[in-house]
């Protein structure tokens, strides 16, 4: 069967500043943490060892062109642009981002820019990071500066990438700095992130820039083990905590009342100011980026909660390992292609069918060298992964979902936070030692699909 996509469908991929640029200027929490605890990072590889986009941006953009991208998302590094987060602007960073943006536009590749992709300037973390409202103000100033500097040529802005991940990693589950385990502080970080997002949207609207502004959320549909009311309740609470905690404010301009009531009943609500509600209502977006990697399967808890243990989302559910589920064993994530369709249908039916696109989807695989055939990685599994997700995406579009594009994670194999280079996601293989780039089979497949705006599959 032939799967054809609408005209002007966005074909591309996503990356982020910290994961690709190298040549770090302006310390982030990652640099600080890596210097102190390198053992937290796979094989002790830290954020200095990247795919060197800072040096090779021009030839990399040629490669994007070769992959027939018509759009590409990356991020601006707050710490590179304003090393202490709030003071002087670094002119080299302005030059760098100007050159990248201009070159992308010249090559017919529409730049999509994220303002914050997990990379908190260390100077901002030292004053409390997202727990401190001064950091919200500093972020708003940074966002405005980006709009003023680049807003004439960047027409698609994203305030945050997966804002719930720094909340989970840094304040609940110990996989990002500052390794705090404290729900109320996590809720404060999440809340202030939403305020920062809304301030950036407000500034963008006030400046009457030509483009549009949105956010990128990692949406993980919550599937209950069964239709038993206890399982349904577990799925409802996880949806509230992990999806709707950001989805509702940015699309509806307010938090779900039952989420607020739940947190209130456990005394976990962040400190709110009366004027916050108006600000959040102004944070409604034009465009939603959806990162989809895996579903979340849950069931009701089998055991009572230990009242001495820290309050956690897991007080309300257990993870459910569905028999027969398909796994990506390297990342430990379930692969469930219909999830992409379920997300789109939920947005269509419950959120007014917003303009959206898949901003990340991908498959990290370890030791891909074993798949080399005639000098090229033959990543059949990735082609299958993409085409099966695209088939479900196509079904969503044919049923009226407002999905405008598909971006893959990622372009060139890059540095993946604590996993460093363990799992490779790219269309292009990176030899870390020589920095040689070699297009994988999936890159060729994607280039053909983008060119034809369609692909064939049985
Ligand atoms: C997303 C992030 C990316 C990227 C990707 C792959 O959550 O937006 O930055 O890293 O996941 O995940 P990981 O690197 O953890 O394997």
The string of pLDDT tens digits covering residues 81-128 is 999 999 999 999 999 999 999 999 999 999 999 999 999 999 999 999
Q: Quick one: pLDDT at residue 356?
A: 99
Kindly state if the Cβ of 361 falls inside 6 Å of ligand 1. no
Catalytic residue among 137, 360, 384, 388: 360
What is the Cα–Cα distance from 9 to 278, expressed in whole angstroms? 35
Nearest CA to ligand 1 atom 4: 416
Q: Residues 140-161: what's their mean pLDDT?
A: 99
- Cα(441) to centroid(ligand 1), Å: 21
Nearest CA to ligand 1 atom 12: 416
**Does 360 qualify as catalytic in the annotation?**
yes
Kindly state if the Cβ of 331 falls inside 6 Å of ligand 1. yes
pLDDT band per the 50, 70, 90 thresholds, residue 209: very high
Other C-beta atoms closer than 10 Å to the C-beta of 176 total: 23
The answer to whether the beta carbons of residues 259 and 234 sit under 8 Å apart is no
Ligand 1 atom nearest 418 alpha carbon: 15
pLDDT, tens digit, for every residue of 165-194?
A: 999 999 999 999 999 999 999 999 999 999
Other C-beta atoms closer than 10 Å to the C-beta of 333 total: 16
pLDDT, tens digit, for every residue of 277-317?
A: 999 999 999 999 999 999 999 999 999 999 999 999 999 99
- Cα(416) to centroid(ligand 1), Å: 6
Kindly state if the Cβ of 20 falls inside 6 Å of ligand 1. no
Kindly state if the Cβ of 166 falls inside 6 Å of ligand 1. no
Nearest CA to ligand 1 atom 6: 416
Instruction: Judge if pTM exceeds 0.95.
Output: yes
pLDDT, tens digit, for every residue of 308-330?
A: 999 999 999 999 999 999 999 99
Ligand 1 pocket: which of 409, 412, 426 to mutate (most atoms within 8 A of CB): 409
The answer to whether the beta carbons of residues 158 and 113 sit under 8 Å apart is yes
Instruction: Assign 3-class secondary structure to the chain.
Output: CEEECCCCCEEEEECCHHHHCCCCCCCEHHHHHHHHCHHHCHHHCCCCCCCCHHHHHHHHHHHHHHCCCCEEEEECCHHHHCCCCCCCCCHHHHHHHHHHHHHHHHCCCEEEEECCCCCCEHHHHHCCHHHCHHHHHHHHHHHHHHHHHHCCCCCEEEEEECCHHHHHHHHCCCCCCCCCCCHHHHHHHHHHHHHHHHHHHHHHHHCCCCCEEEEEEECCCEEECCCCHHHHHHHHHHHHHHHHHHHHHHHHCCCCHHHHHHHHHCCCCCCCCCCHHHHHHCCCCCEEEEECCCCEEEECCCCCCCCCCCCCHHHHCEECCCCCCCEECCCCEECCCHHHHHHHHHHHHHCCCCCEEEEECCCCEECHHHHEECCEECCHHHHHHHHHHHHHHHHHHHCCCCEEEEEEECCECCCCHHHCCCEECCCEEECCCCCCEEECHHHHHHHHHHHHCEEECC
Kindly state if the Cβ of 423 falls inside 6 Å of ligand 1. yes
Kindly state if the Cβ of 103 falls inside 6 Å of ligand 1. no
Nearest CA to ligand 1 atom 16: 416
Kindly state if the Cβ of 364 falls inside 6 Å of ligand 1. yes
Strand partners, 14: 73, 409
Nearest CA to ligand 1 atom 14: 416
Asked whether the predicted pLDDT for residue 275 surpasses 90, the reply is yes
Q: Residues 22-33: what's their mean pLDDT?
A: 96
Q: What is the mean pLDDT of the chain?
A: 98
Asked whether the predicted pLDDT for residue 73 surpasses 90, the reply is yes
- Cα(266) to centroid(ligand 1), Å: 31
- Cα(99) to centroid(ligand 1), Å: 26
What is the Cα–Cα distance from 406 to 386, expressed in whole angstroms? 10
- Cα(226) to centroid(ligand 1), Å: 30
Asked whether the predicted pLDDT for residue 229 surpasses 90, the reply is yes
Q: How far is CA 68 from the centre of its chain?
A: 22
The answer to whether the beta carbons of residues 14 and 409 sit under 8 Å apart is yes
Q: State the Cα angle at 257 between 184 and 198, rounded to 5°.
A: 70
What is the Cα–Cα distance from 456 to 458, expressed in whole angstroms? 7
What is the Cα–Cα distance from 39 to 55, expressed in whole angstroms? 28
Kindly state if the Cβ of 110 falls inside 6 Å of ligand 1. no
Other C-beta atoms closer than 10 Å to the C-beta of 211 total: 18
- Cα(418) to centroid(ligand 1), Å: 10
- Cα(308) to centroid(ligand 1), Å: 33
Kindly state if the Cβ of 411 falls inside 6 Å of ligand 1. no
pLDDT band per the 50, 70, 90 thresholds, residue 68: very high
Ligand 1 pocket: which of 408, 425, 426 to mutate (most atoms within 8 A of CB): 425
Ligand 1 pocket: which of 242, 360, 366, 426 to mutate (most atoms within 8 A of CB): 360
Q: Quick one: pLDDT at residue 20?
A: 98
Q: Residues 358-386: what's their mean pLDDT?
A: 98
Tell which residue, 187, 294, 201, has the closest CA to residue 246.
187
pLDDT band per the 50, 70, 90 thresholds, residue 458: confident
77, 80, 86, 91: CA torsion to nearest 10: -120
The answer to whether the beta carbons of residues 281 and 322 sit under 8 Å apart is no
Ligand 1 atom nearest 161 alpha carbon: 8
Q: Quick one: pLDDT at residue 169?
A: 98
Those residues whose C-beta lies under 8 Å from the C-beta of residue 319, and which sit 6 or more positions away, are 296, 297, 298, 299
Q: How far is CA 413 from the centre of its chain?
A: 16
- Cα(453) to centroid(ligand 1), Å: 26
Q: Residues 50-74: what's their mean pLDDT?
A: 98
């Amino acid at each position: 069967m032939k799967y054809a996509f609408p005209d002007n469908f966005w074909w591309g991929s996503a990356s982020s500043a910290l994961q690709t640029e190298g040549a770090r200027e302006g310390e982030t929490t990652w640099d600080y943490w890596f210097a102190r605890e390198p053992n937290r990072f796979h094989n002790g590889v830290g954020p200095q060892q990247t795919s060197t986009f800072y040096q090779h941006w021009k030839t990399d953009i040629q490669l994007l062109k070769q992959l027939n991208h018509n759009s590409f998302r990356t991020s601006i590094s707050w710490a590179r642009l304003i090393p202490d987060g709030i003071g002087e602007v670094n002119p080299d960073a302005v030059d760098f981002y100007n050159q990248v943006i201009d070159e992308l536009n010249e090559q017919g590749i529409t730049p999509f820019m994220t303002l914050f992709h997990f990379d908190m300037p260390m100077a901002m973390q030292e004053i409390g990071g997202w727990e401190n409202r001064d950091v919200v103000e500093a972020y708003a100033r940074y966002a405005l500066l980006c709009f003023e500097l680049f807003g004439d040529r960047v027409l698609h802005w994203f305030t945050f990438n997966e804002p719930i991940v720094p909340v989970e990693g840094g304040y609940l589950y110990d996989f990002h700095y500052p390794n705090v385990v404290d729900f109320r502080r996590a809720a404060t970080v999440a809340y202030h992130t939403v305020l920062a997002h809304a301030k950036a949207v407000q500034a963008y609207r006030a400046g009457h820039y030509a483009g549009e502004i949105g956010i990128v959320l990692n949406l993980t549909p919550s599937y209950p083990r069964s239709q038993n009311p206890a399982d349904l309740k577990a799925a409802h609470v996880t949806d509230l905590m992990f999806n709707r905690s950001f989805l509702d404010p940015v699309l509806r301009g307010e938090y779900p009342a039952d989420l607020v009531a739940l947190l209130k009943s456990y005394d976990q609500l962040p400190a709110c100011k009366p004027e916050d509600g108006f600000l959040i209502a102004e944070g409604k977006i034009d465009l939603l980026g959806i990162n989809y990697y895996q579903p979340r399967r849950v069931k009701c808890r089998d055991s009572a909660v230990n009242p001495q243990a820290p309050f956690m989302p897991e007080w309300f559910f257990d993870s459910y390992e569905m028999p027969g589920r398909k796994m990506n064993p390297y990342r430990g994530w379930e692969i469930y292609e219909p999830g992409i369709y379920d997300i789109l249908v939920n947005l269509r039916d419950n959120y007014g069918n917003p303009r959206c696109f898949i901003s990340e989807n991908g498959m990290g695989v370890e030791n891909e060298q074993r798949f080399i055939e005639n000098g090229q990685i033959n990543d059949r599994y990735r082609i299958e992964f993409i085409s099966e997700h695209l088939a479900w995406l196509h079904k969503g579009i044919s049923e009226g979902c407002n999905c405008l594009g598909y971006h893959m994670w990622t372009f060139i194999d890059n540095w993946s936070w604590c996993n460093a280079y363990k799992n490779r996601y790219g269309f292009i293989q990176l030899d870390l030692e020589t920095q040689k780039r070699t297009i994988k089979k999936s890159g060729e497949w994607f280039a053909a699909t983008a060119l034809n705006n369609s692909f064939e599959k049985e």
